Structure 1
Amino acid sequence: MLVEKNTPLQDCNTFGIVASADTLVRIHSAADVQEFVASPHYRGRKVFVLGGGSNIVLTGDVTDAVVLKMEIAGIAAIAQTDSHWIVEAGAGVLWHDLVAWTVEHGYPGLENLALVPGTVGAAPVQNIGAYGVELQDRFYELDAVDLASGQSFTLDAAQCAFGYRDSVFKHVPASPVGTPVAKVQGMGLAGRAVITKVRFALPKHWKPELGYMDLQRKQSDEAVEHPSAQQIFDWVVAIRRAKLPDPAVVGNAGSFFKNPTVTDDQCRDILAREPKIVHYAMPNGSIKLAAGWMIDACGWKGKTVGNAGVYEKQALVLVNRGTGENSVTGGEVMTLAGAIQTSVYERFGIRLEPEPVVL
């Protein structure tokens, strides 16, 4: 465990927002988390877990919480069943590095999630998803440390309560802060636990997921009847690079808004007014609407407010138009986001919900 004071965070968030952490603790193992829980640096203070910084908007310096910077490394195939390989990765591993490793080593199943930003430890919190695959589809179990007791524990998929960009780690239960996880009542572990390792069940009898038009177009263009996991990985990488800005070049937090879901009746009502709106039927009978399409229809693509802008190639992505010390502020990002939400609501009657955590 390495403790740092007054640590700059501009390089620790993909938006490139200038901010600092009063106290930052670098975590390289579950034992480091346990040491932190027992140390005077904690003593019941709020904790903010920071992975790759790809899903946060900092609206100021972090002074009211200890930042735990997750840097737990390691990827390995650790077991297998009749139908799956079990692959384990440390919480600090970059998500794309894990996906590339699995494809390279012959363990398919994650290729549709290539180039999703962030770390392995953050992936279950958000239940990340892309091109027809969500993390919950490949999840096996995870290890975490209880911030009240310092004890390690393991959760399976049901205990993680996955939903659309949602999990048990995004909800706070009624139990007071400091209650051991074993005694927490109600769904919610936000601020109560730190994920240290995640394990995935990758199918031995693999079938490609080609439900999205972009992938079908790639398949048609390259005349590949039965694409391999490597080919799908390459297609997803090419598609995402063509549509989305590289955070190393243009600061951003990926998709800024969740795609809203509505009932079939609500969708028919919207289609009567907006027949071109992009929508997808979900297995549970609800309809998912394309937030990016709605934002674009409201005329926001390419627009700028202060140093915050809407990406020219994908209206779902907000970007940093500033540089260096003149970087975008969290306030500018949230002002732009609020204006977009107002426009979409006034036109479509839909309230868009931001994906990133706002601090």
Structure 2
Amino acid sequence: MSAQKIQIFDTTLRDGEQVPGCKLNMQEKLVIARQLELLGVDVIEAGFPVSSPGDFEAVKAIAAQTREATVCGLTRAVENDIRVAADALKLAKYPRIHTGIGTSESHIKFKLRTTQEDVIERAVAAVKLAKSFVEDVEFYAEDAGRADNVFLARVCEAAIQAGATVLNIPDTTGYCLPHEYGAKIKYLYENVKGVEKVRLSTHCHNDLGLATANSIAGIMNGALQIECTINGVGERAGNTALEEVVMIMRQHPYLNLDTNINTKLLTETSNLVSHMMRMPVQPNKAIVGSNAFSHSSGIHQDGVIKHRETYEIIDPRDVGVDNSSIVLTARSGRAALAYRLQKIGYDFSKETLDKAYALFLQVADNKKEVVDEDLHSLVEQENLIAAN
């Protein structure tokens, strides 16, 4: 049986760009948008058109250049927001307006200062207006993670009746535990009339480090779209990382879920976004961090050299990395040293390797990492070639 395709909705250019210091200019947005389309994302959330003239023009330009992916513009449940977004998306081959309103008690009481009934009325009006401009309308129930499920179901049902094609169920504050978020998606599928006609979407934030886990819980309970960003960039602690959810589905085929993402472009795309947003990727970041396929422990190095899958569940080439990396430190063993020496042209006997290893440890105890230049110097200074 063929795998169920999960749509990837990338919001790097909208939610991701909201990170302080990560503002992108028009040309940078166009370059990233082209790369996202090449990567194979299904939906590019290009920006929040009403927020500034620059964002309006960027959404308009991205809409004009994009031919395969849906181009989406964000709005509030405000008439002018929606009209401006519709104008910005006029040139899109596949336009989508993404509109919505807060649904949790906190948002209704303190942010909107209104009632549940008014929220439903405003949601319906926003979706209907958006629908008058585009066929594809996504409704977001902001702070759905903390919303009462019964009320959330009412809002979702009203949005469907008004013409929504996608329902975004955001864990806006990253509060949910995976089983709670999964249960929320399941509840909506079981209690919202007409839900089979639309696509439920996850949009999870990482305040408690659970964005990826929550997104996976969502799709395991019926959601068919994941909203995410490259490198997990986004408000506060960030969003669900695209590369993580994509590779989880790819590495767990029994889930019978997959995406259209060309995973061999993940590292390239990560590097591009990191460079243009001036936001370094932490070395231990899953999938795309510089240490994701690096090994420095002697036990791990020996295992990887003998059979890569002993300590790597992903072939680095599948995400655009040429090879695993054997990093020489004071924790490395003889197998790793022999491996690296062979890589630079030295094939020593056991006796010579033992001597080289003793000398190597002296160097390694004084350096964080022993590089090829150090190995060449060690071999030459101790005349190990002659001794071999």
- For Structure 1 versus Structure 2, the TM-score category normalised by the shorter chain is under 0.3
More helix per residue = 2
Q: Radius of gyration: which is bigger?
A: 2
TM-score (normalizing by structure 2)? 0.26
TM-score (normalizing by structure 1)? 0.28
More strand per residue = 1
